[in-house]
A and B are shown apart, each in its own frame.
Chain A
Amino acid sequence: MLPTLGGRIQTRLVLLAVVGGLVTLIIGPILPISAPLSVVYRDTFVILAAVAVLGIGWECVYHFLMQWRWEKDWPTLFGLLTAIPEGALIWLLLRAGAIPGIKGTVPFTAFLMDFGLVWLAVWLVANGPMRVPFIRWRFHGGRLV
């Protein structure tokens, strides 16, 4: 990707809302969480929102790190590997009970499936299909408006 800071944030928010929301809806029933589906959805959507909100901070960090790259680009793999620190932070916050709105306990396996599949789907869409409806997106640093 060739993002600007504004483009990074817009892309993250839109893709998490649309693609992430869709994936969360689909995988909710199959996640190994011993709770009613309404609770599962509540927890997973709260996690999704946390990824979006904290992500704004992460994007600022990535933008800062990108300044050391001559090309001012963000290689494809970086977009995938950044799942590790982001996922780890969300998990630690979950364990610490620092994410408001979570009901009960989210098992690690369920979190891994939820976070991993959402991240993978968003990353895949950002690296290709996103360009189909939004032909100006890649030339505008990832901005949609």
Chain B
Amino acid sequence: MANYNHPGAVSAGVTGAISVLTCTNVDESGGHQVTDQPTGVAGGAESQAQPETVQHRRPAGDPRVGAADGTPPGSGDLTDELLRSDQWTDEMVRAAGIPVTDVPFVSVGGGIGSFVTVDYLRIAGVATDRIAVLSNLDFPWQTYEYLTRVSQIPRPERIRSDSASRPDNIWGFPSYAIAEAIGDRTLAPLWQVLIEPIWADYYTPKAGRVFAGLEREAKRIDFAKMLVKGQVRMVRRRQGGGYFTILTPMAGSAQTKRLAYRSEFVHVAVGYPGLKYLPELQDFRTAQQDFHHVVSAYEEHEHIYEAAKTKHLVVMLRGGGIVASRVLQRLMDDRERLGLSTEIVHLFRTYITSSHGPNAWNRRKGAHGFAYQGFNYPKSVWGGQLKSEMRRLEGQQRAEKYKLMGGTNTPFRRRWQAQMKDGRQGGWYRTMAGAVGEMRLDHGMIVSCVKTATGMVEVPADFVIDCTGLEADIAEHRVLADLLAHSGASRNPIGRLDVERDFELRGAGSGSGVMYASGAATLGGYFPGVDTFLGLQVAAQEIVDDLARRGFCRRIGPLRSTRQWLRWARNKQP
């Protein structure tokens, strides 16, 4: 279970997502020279059945009609015919002049979701020349590291992840706690794991250790050999079976604007479609053109901590998840360490006062606004009772179970509790419950009009930090929107991509070809913890087992697993 926050935290490249934050991420990810433009073809789910015909006739009112803006055949770019067709023939792609590369397995995304899946495949004996990872990221943890860093988890800090959730080690053994105990020559991590969570906080690894492990494993499995840099534009089914994945390569790296990858299997792990602001924050930013005083915790906002060092500030926090906790900790740490006078107003939309839940065996702890939980789901979703229960639920029942175990939450950490208690007693940390109606500028302060249970309250602050981490709809992501519109993919009970228990994308099969999806875009399926380190490994295991059943690779049995673990331990290639 690994994640550092509400949106779980494990994100691939937010490739092609359309949001303010995404733009920031992409820039941070290395200033990609990709010149692709969104077409705006986001549509709902339809065409579940595999059509015989290549091209569908659309009714006049279909928003996709006329959306195609193709180029002439032979130009090496997407033609009208390709843009409009749900299924492509080899001839159509050839006529467009797009070079085709054959590779049996393509993973789209290139983040941690792609990485752990490819790691499993390599350990199952698949050679690097049978895998292509298409991504705009230079390395799998690039987006994750960016998001953790700006949301106040730099490398020396600890992420919200279990000791045995190791994306660089499919066995989870030795755990991060053992590795830290050996590396730092201390028994403290082992003792913490022994007595957690009753007598100590959950042990969680340092971000830096996680990244170092990923780097080692990426080298071990030759990840760079499988990586093809560029922006994935779409995945379409191929007539006769399999798929075409269209990549816009990095500027100057190819003769044509597009490259096509023809494969039997496709794995889509593109991370979060994008993050969005609370509507009133977005309205304020747009109206005032102020991107300085109202910020998201997921974008660079170091200037706030710097400003707090120079003068008295009032900072308003929005949200009750792990990111709010981390930002709060940073403000409180700076206050204590540097003797600052920063005041914090913490606004919760849903204010938790005590343990909550429908009955005695479904009760989560909570206090002072927060719901407390070690990780972003109850722990047993990753392998125990809840995982087993969820696997059997369908439709509304599943959606209700998600609702029961969902809700924003944060871990109970003793240090945070002590800091908040000091703040409450000192009067410089105040919590309140309510919804913000409007925001305005008044003498340089941002005034939030908060509707509380007792009436309207105006709260002035120098800065507002949005820690809610609202996620955009999956159709905001161009590749996912295209899958919904053209490849038979549909939505699950909570609106994300509908996948089978083995993470096959329902309705998107193509002859002998199979498309899989994992990560945040599949939340709402039979397995809840998809957007976490361990969740991605659960998905990878299901996918690789399914691929083994289909004859693509060997099933990892006890002997192979043990042999491969020994190779991992000696840092030898799989």
Contacts and interface: CB of A to CB of B under 8 A. Distances in A.
Nearest to B198: A75
A26 interface: no
B385 A141 contact: yes
B354 to A, nearest CB: 13
A73 interface: yes
Given A77-B198, A135-B171, A141 B378 contact: no
A103 interface: no
Contacts of B561: 132-135
Contact of B538 (A67, A132, A134, A139): A139
Contacts of B387: 2, 139, 141
A70 B562 contact: no
Contact of B172 (A136, A138, A140): A138
B230 interface: no
Interface string B558-570: 1101100100000
Contacts of A136: 541, 545
B24 interface: no
Contact of A2 (B193, B373, B384, B537): B384
A128 B178 CA distance: 10
**Which of B194, B379, B558, B561 counts the most A-chain CB atoms under 10 A from its CB?**
B379
B362 interface: yes
Interface string A32-75: 00000000000000000000000000000000001110111101
Contacts of A138: 164, 172, 383
A72 B363 contact: no
B373 A70 contact: yes
Interface string A120-139: 00000000110111111011
B558 A134 contact: yes
B174 A75 contact: no
A3 interface: yes
A4 interface: yes
A105 interface: no
A71 B380 contact: yes
Interface string A69-93: 0111101110010000000000000
A68 B562 contact: no
B384 A133 contact: no
A8 B380 CA distance: 13
A70 B558 contact: no
A39 to B, nearest CB: 35
Given A3-B384, A132-B565, A135-B556, A76 B196 contact: yes
Contact of A139 (B360, B365, B541, B559): B541
B196 A75 contact: yes
B197 interface: yes
Nearest to A8: B384
Nearest to B357: A70
A73 B379 contact: yes
A83 B172 CA distance: 25
A2 B383 contact: yes
B170 A72 contact: no
B562 A132 contact: yes
Contacts of B195: 77
Contacts of B357: 70
Given A76-B196, A133-B561, A134-B558, A70 B365 contact: yes
Contact of A68 (B175, B361, B379): B361
B384 A70 contact: no
Given A68-B360, A68-B361, A73 B174 contact: no
Nearest to A135: B561
B380 A72 contact: yes
B173 A72 contact: no
Contacts of A66: 385
B374 to A, nearest CB: 7
B574 to A, nearest CB: 14
Interface in B359-388: 360-365, 373-374, 378-380, 382-388
A122 B374 CA distance: 26
A141 B379 CA distance: 12
Interface string A1-25: 1111001000000000000000000
Contact of A70 (B171, B199, B362, B383): B362
B218 to A, nearest CB: 20
A70 B197 CA distance: 12
Contacts of A134: 558, 561
B382 A139 contact: yes
Nearest to A74: B384
Contacts of A141: 383-385, 387-388
Contacts of A4: 384-385, 388
A29 B565 CA distance: 34
A7 B287 CA distance: 57
Contacts of A71: 373-374, 378-380
A3 B387 CA distance: 10
Contacts of A80: 194
Contacts of B194: 76-77, 80
Contacts of B175: 128
26 contacts: A1-B384, A2-B383, A2-B385, A70-B362, A71-B374, A71-B378, A72-B384, A72-B386, A75-B197, A75-B198, A76-B193, A76-B194, A129-B173, A131-B164, A131-B173, A132-B171, A133-B558, A135-B171, A135-B556, A138-B172, A139-B382, A139-B387, A139-B537, A139-B538, A141-B384, A141-B385
Given A138-B164, A140-B383, 15 more contacts: A2-B387, A3-B384, A70-B364, A71-B380, A72-B378, A72-B384, A72-B385, A76-B193, A77-B199, A131-B171, A131-B172, A132-B171, A136-B541, A139-B538, A141-B387
